[in-house]
């Protein structure tokens, strides 16, 4: 029960948004190096993603505890309900941040040197809604660090391919976060919080989300060409694009009833399918 409360605090199941891209990027990096598959390094990468996301989500819940207690949609979260105290949540954040840096140290010097920068981005996101509607892009940047970091973990060198994948993740996450934030447009106005829907309205927000998702798919296509994907991985990219389109077909300015399907189910499937087919093709080769 104790562990379950913290897993709920950080919505651990949502790790599937960033994790598949990180693992796929790792396998693409392994293919790039031509060396034997370093399973230990892969384990460190997985742990790094878990610890980083735990720290980010824990801090988000800690920083937003006042707003969560006032927003009807979030009043049942663990801190407002008193299931987890603010101090316990903060200690959880510190522990996971230290574990993340420790894992980065185990990976290589470059990843360790960049780990404080990564923490600054992923923790800083939680404060951005207080002063900019571009908070969705900051969230996207945080998750985009996962595939980039996975590539650096194995190669310790930057490359166009992981950068394109990171751009795709950034735009994809920002786009679906805009859709998700449509639910809180009214509350954001009352609480003086910033978001794209509050700034430009539902209709234009959905149009911007669609534009961002078009950019995400384009970046993923470019990455597919650079990686010289064959039929299996190209199918993954195509399915990803179809699922992006689907979520825009089921959500409209006047009907937000299917936001959870668009946000959780569709995007979760999209990331898992793309990464799985990429990994299968890499191993098949």
Domains parsed from the chain with CATH numbers = 2-284 (1.10.357.140)
DSSP state of 83: S
CA distance 116 to 100: 10
Per-residue pLDDT at 2: 63
Q: What per-residue string of b and e applies to 161-175 under the rule 16 or more CB within 10 Å gives b?
A: bbbbbbbbbbbbbbb
pLDDT digits (tens, 9 = 90+) for 229-244: 999 999 999 999 999 9
CA distance 59 to 192: 20
Per-residue pLDDT at 260: 82
Counting every residue, how long is the chain?
A: 285
CA distance 14 to 282: 25
Q: Which two tokens stand for residue 237?
A: 């990219």
CA distance 29 to 127: 33
Per-residue pLDDT at 1: 61
Q: What per-residue string of b and e applies to 86-123 under the rule 16 or more CB within 10 Å gives b?
A: eebbeebbeebbebbbebbebbbebbeeebeebbebbb
- Does residue 148 contact residue 140 with C-beta atoms inside 8 Å? no
CA distance 122 to 104: 15
Q: Which two tokens stand for residue 181?
A: 């934030």
- Does residue 216 contact residue 244 with C-beta atoms inside 8 Å? yes
Query: Angle at which helices 135-155 and 39-63 pack, to 10 degrees?
Result: 160
CA distance 276 to 268: 12
Per-residue pLDDT at 33: 87
Closest CA to 143 of 18, 271, 10: 18
Per-residue pLDDT at 264: 79
Residues of the chain with pLDDT under 70: 1-2, 12-14
Segment 33-42 long-range contacts (CB within 8 Å, at least 24 positions apart): 33/154, 33/155, 38/154, 41/107, 41/153, 41/154
Q: What predicted TM-score, i.e. pTM, was given to this entire model?
A: 0.95
Per-residue pLDDT at 262: 76
């Amino acid at each position: 029960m104790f562990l379950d409360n913290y897993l709920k605090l950080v919505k651990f199941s949502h790790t599937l948004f960033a994790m598949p891209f990180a693992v796929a990027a790792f396998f693409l990096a392994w293919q790039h190096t031509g060396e034997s598959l370093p399973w230990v390094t892969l384990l460190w990468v997985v742990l790094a993603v878990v610890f980083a996301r735990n720290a980010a989500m824990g801090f988000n819940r800690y920083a937003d505890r006042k707003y969560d207690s006032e927003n009807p949609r979030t009043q049942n979260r663990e801190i407002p309900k008193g299931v987890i105290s603010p101090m316990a949540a903060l200690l959880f954040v510190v522990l996971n941040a230290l574990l993340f840096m420790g894992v980065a140290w185990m990976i290589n010097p470059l990843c360790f040197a960049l780990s404080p920068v990564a923490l600054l981005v992923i923790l800083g996101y939680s404060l951005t809604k207080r002063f900019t509607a571009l908070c969705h892009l900051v969230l996207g940047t945080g998750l985009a660090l996962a595939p980039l970091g996975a590539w650096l973990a194995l190669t310790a060198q930057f490359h166009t391919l992981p950068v394109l994948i990171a751009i795709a993740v950034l735009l994809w996450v920002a786009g679906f976060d805009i859709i998700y934030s449509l639910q809180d447009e009214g509350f954001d106005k009352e609480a003086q919080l910033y978001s794209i829907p509050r700034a430009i309205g539902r209709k234009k927000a959905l149009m911007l989300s669609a534009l961002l998702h078009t950019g995400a798919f384009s970046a993923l296509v470019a990455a597919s060409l650079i990686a010289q994907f064959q039929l299996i991985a190209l199918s993954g990219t195509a399915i990803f694009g179809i699922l992006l389109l689907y979520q825009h077909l089921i959500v409209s300015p006047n009907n937000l009833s299917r936001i959870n399907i668009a946000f959780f189910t569709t995007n979760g499937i999209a990331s898992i399918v793309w990464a799985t087919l990429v990994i299968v093709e890499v191993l098949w080769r």
